[in-house]
Amino acid sequence: MVLLPARRGTAVRVKAGDVIRVVNTHGSQVVDTWAFVEGTDEFMSMEHTRVCLRKLSPSVGDGLFSNRRRLLLTLTADDTDGGHDTLCAACDPQRYELLGCLEPHDNCTDNLRTAMAQLEVRYRETPCPFNLFMSIRIEPGGVMIWSPPLCKKAGDSVTLRAETDLVLAFSCCPMDVAGNPINGNQPVRDCELLIYDALGRLRDER
């Protein structure tokens, strides 16, 4: 098991065929998720995924595609009813400044940078994340409503299969600004990652 610590980022290398289960341990936490093809400028792209799928959010059986329209991951299981956000940029220092935070605030963009630096993986910029468990309701007229997370209960998970070798990165989003319900109006909390190889054996380490 790999802990995804509250407010922090984590990056792992996975192989083609690995199965990655992201567990929402407490059922209230958004997990920003990225995938990169190491040594290239190719990354999981929400813009390209939406076009490939012709929908706003992948369902079980759907792929997640790169900025070169290549299949990188498949969503193989989901305890929620789906609808994970693909629209919102990762939070960053400016986002919190604009929300009125007077002090520096943990943020997913910095978390990605720190996590990728720990693996010494370079990337050019922060792609739009696949925001697991994050619910943005779209109202008539296209108005976006930030809503509580999609989990039905603690321990709900989303499972992805790597279709190629990847570096995956995750951030337990530290959004805790009053009035923003994306983390269920709960404290920012840990999640967990379970990684199985193609033979179904659980990997214990990064």
Interface ranges with Zn ion (CB under 5 A) = 91, 108, 173
Nearest residue to 35 via CA among 158, 125, 127, 173: 127
- Locate 127 and state its tokens: 């792609």
Q: Minimum CB separation from Zn ion for residue 100, in Å?
A: 16
**C-beta of 105 vs 203, nearer to Zn ion:** 105
Q: Where are the alpha helices (DSSP H) in 71-154?
A: 93-98, 108-118
Nearest residue to 67 via CA among 124, 151, 132: 124
Residue 31 bridge partners (DSSP): 132, 172
**C-beta of 6 vs 72, nearer to Zn ion:** 6
Residue 172 bridge partners (DSSP): 6, 31
Handedness of CA 81, 182, 128, 191 (dihedral sign): negative
**C-beta of 19 vs 108, nearer to Zn ion:** 108
**C-beta of 175 vs 193, nearer to Zn ion:** 175
